[in-house]
Structure 1
Amino acid sequence: MRVSDHLSQAKKTLFSYEIVPPLRGSTPITEIFSIIEKLLPYDPKWINVTTHASSLLYVENSDGTISKRIHKKRPGTMGICGVIQNKYGIDAVAHVLCQGFSQQETEDALIELNYMGIENILALKGDNLNYNRQIADNETVNRNAVDLVRQVAKMRDGKFIADTEYPPVDFCMGVAGYPEKHFEAANMQLNIDYLKQKVAAGAEYVITQMFFDNDKYFAYVDACRAAGINVPIIPGIKVIKTANQLNSLPRLFHIDLPHELVSELVAKPEHAATIGKEWAKTQVKDLIARGAPCVHFFLMNDVSSVLEIIKDFN
C-alpha cells in the first residue's frame, strides 16, 4: 500500500518509524527482526530503511603502510525492505540517494525494489561524499533531490535511461523537509522554494528533519501551505537519550534545541534518558492534538524509549 493511501485513509494520527541497516559484519539481521517484532503490536503502517553510500577509509596494512579503501559500511537496505514487506506484511520505504550513486545505479535499484513489491521510497540528496567518486563516461548523476524525483517520475511514464525497455514503475515518493532550514539554503524562503520544486516534480508527501520545538514545525507547515505546498507534511521526532546529544545533534543535523530542554539536560545529565523521553512524549501529544497526519520516529535502532511513548497513544 502506498504511504499516500495510508495517510488519506487514516482516521487518526499514524505512527511510522525509521531504522538503520546494521554495520557491515557487526550485527546479525536478527537484530532488525527483533526491532520490527517489538513494533508489530502497535500496528506500524510503514517503516523507513535508510541507505548509505560508500565512504573512504584509511587502512593500516600489516607492513605499516597506509592504503585507501572505498567501503560501504551499512549495506542491505533493499534486502531489509524485502523482509519487512514480505515477511512481516508492513509497507517498507526505501531511502534512495543522489550522493554516491549514478542515475543508472538508481534505475537498477528501483527496478529491483519494484520486483520485490516495494511501492514507496524517500528521495534524498544524501550526505556529501568524503572522496571524489569517479563517474564513467556513460553514466550521469542526480545533483539534487529534485533531480532524483524527476528521474523517478519519468519511470512512472515508462521513460528509462538509454531507452531501456521495461514496464512503467510507479513509486509513491516522499522527500525531506526542514522546519529550521536546510543548512545549504540561503534563507527560509529558498528552503521552501526547493521543497515546492520537489513536490511539483512528483513528491507526494514530506517527512521533516527532527525538531524539538513543535511551534517551528507548525510555522513551517503554515509557510508551506501559503506557498502552495499541499501534500502531507509529517513531523520527524528523535528521542534524546544522553546529554552528549546536546552537542552531537545540532552539529550533525543543523538544528536548535529549546532552552528549557537544554537547561534540564545540563542540570541533570544523568537523567537524560528520562528527560528526553518525557520531552518527546509531550511533543507527540501536542502534535496529535494539533492535527499532525503522522508522527515519524527516527529510531536509530533504539526502540525501547519509543515503545514507552507510543503505548500511551494506542
Structure 2
Amino acid sequence: MKVRDHISKAVEAHKTEFSFEILPPLKGQNIDTIFKNIDPLMEFNPPFIDVTYHREEYIYKEREDGLLEKKVVRKRPGTVGICAAIQNKYDVDAVPHVLCGGFSKEDTENFLIDMDFLGIENVMALRGDAVKSETYFKPNKNGNVYAQDLVEQIIDLNHGKYLDEDLLNSSQTDFCIGVAGYPEKHLEAPSMESDIHFLKKKLEAGACYVVTQMFFDNQKYFDFVEKCRAAGITKPIIPGLKPLATKKQLNMIPQRFSVDVPDALVMEVVNCKTPDAVRQVGIEWCIQQSKELKAAGVPVLHYYSMGKSDNIRQIAEAVF
C-alpha cells in the first residue's frame, strides 16, 4: 500500500498513526539485530517503516611500502534485503531511502528495479549528506545532483521511461515518493524561503509527501507548515521526532543537523546526574511533543529510532 494512502486513511479517520525509521545493522551483524528492535514496536501497528541507506565512506590504510591506500567501504549495507524481510515478516510496508550521493543514475535505476521486483511500492528520495572526507556534498559521477533530480528519475520509471531509450514495451513502476523537509531549514540553504522553494520543486516533480528533519520545539514545525502552505504546498508534512538520549547530543545535534535545542531542554539535561536520567528527560520531552502534535491532528508521527527501540516504545506507550 502507498504511504500517501496510509496518510489519507488516517486523515479520514481523524487518527494519528505511528511510524519509525531504522538503520541497517553494521556489516558483520545479522538481521536478528533489526528484528529485536522492531518486534517491541509492532504492537503499535505502524503502517510503514523506513529503512535508511548509507553512503560509502573512504578510509586510508598504510601499505607495506609506507604509502597510504584509499579504500571505499560501506559500513551499513543491506537496505534492499531488510526491506524485503520486513514486508515478508511483518506484512508492513517498507520504505527504503534512495540517495543521490554514492549512486550513478544507472545504479539508481537498478536499485529501483530491484525494489519493484520485490513488491516495494514506496521510496524516500534524498540527496544525502556529505561524507567525512568531504567539506561539502559531492554528487557521484553521472549521478543525480539534487533530490529533485532523483524524484524526476523515479517518476520517469513510473512512466516506463528508462535510461536506455531503445527499450521496447518497457514496464512502468508505481512508486510513491517521500522527500525531506527542514523546519529550521537545511544547513546548506541560504534562507528558509529558498529552502521551501526547492521543497515545492520536489513535490511538483512528483513527490507525494514530506517527512521533516527532527526538531525539539513544536512551534518550529507549526511555523514551517504555515510557511509551506502559504507557498502553495498542499501535500502532507509528517513531523519527524527523535528523543534526546545523551548529553553529547546537546552539542552534536545542533552542529551536525543545524537544529536548535530549546533552553529548557538543555538545562534539564545539564542538571541530570546519570545517563539514565538524561535518557528519561529525552523521553518525557518527546512524549509532550508527540501529544501536542497528535492533538493538532497530524496524520502520522514518525520517529527516528537510530537502531534502538526501548525509548521509542516508552513514548509510543504514552501517546498511542
TM-score by length of 1: 0.95
Backbone CA RMSD of aligned residues: 1.5
Q: Which amino acid aligns with 1:80?
A: I
**Unmatched runs of 5 consecutive residues or more in structure 2:** none
Question: What is the CA–CA distance in structure 2 between the aligned matches of 1:178 and 1:202, rounded to whole Å?
Answer: 19
Seen in structure 2, the aligned counterparts of structure 1 residues 134 and 213 have a Cα distance that, compared at 3 Å, is: closer
Of 108-117 and 52-61, the range deviating more from structure 2: 52-61
Seen in structure 2, the aligned counterparts of structure 1 residues 58 and 275 have a Cα distance that, compared at 3 Å, is: same
1:162 partner SS: coil
Q: How does 1:220-299 map to 2 (within 5 A)?
A: 220-270=224-274, 271-299=277-305
Seen in structure 2, the aligned counterparts of structure 1 residues 161 and 269 have a Cα distance that, compared at 3 Å, is: farther
Which one of 174, 180, 185 corresponds to residue 176 of structure 1? 180
Which one of 143, 146, 159 corresponds to residue 145 of structure 2? 143
Name the counterpart of 1:74: 76
- The CA deviation at 1:133 is 7.9
Question: What is the CA–CA distance in structure 1 between the aligned matches of 2:34 and 2:284, rounded to whole Å?
Answer: 26
Of 125-134 and 71-80, the range deviating more from structure 2: 125-134
- Contact 2:159–2:172 (CA under 8 A) maintained in structure 1: yes
Seen in structure 2, the aligned counterparts of structure 1 residues 167 and 144 have a Cα distance that, compared at 3 Å, is: same
Off by >4 Å, runs of 4+ in structure 1: 61-65, 131-134
Name the count of aligned residue pairs: 309
Query: Is 1:185 paired with 2:189?
Result: yes
Q: How does 1:1-314 map to 2 (within 5 A)?
A: 1-10=1-10, 11=13, 12-25=15-28, 27-61=29-63, 65-129=67-131, 130=133, 135=141, 140-163=142-165, 164-165=167-168, 166-270=170-274, 271-314=277-320
Identity %: 47
Spell out, residue by residue over 1:126-158, the C-alpha distance to the aligned partner (whole angstroms, 9 max, x if none). Answer: 0124367873xxxx3110000000111111111
- The CA deviation at 1:65 is 4.8
- The CA deviation at 1:265 is 1.1
**Unmatched runs of 5 consecutive residues or more in structure 1:** none
Of 174-183 and 261-270, the range deviating more from structure 2: 261-270
- Contact 1:58–1:66 (CA under 8 A) maintained in structure 2: yes
1:122 partner SS: strand
Question: What is the CA–CA distance in structure 1 between the aligned matches of 2:64 and 2:278, rounded to whole Å?
Answer: 42
- The CA deviation at 1:64 is 5.7
Of 101-110 and 62-71, the range deviating more from structure 2: 62-71
TM-score by length of 2: 0.93
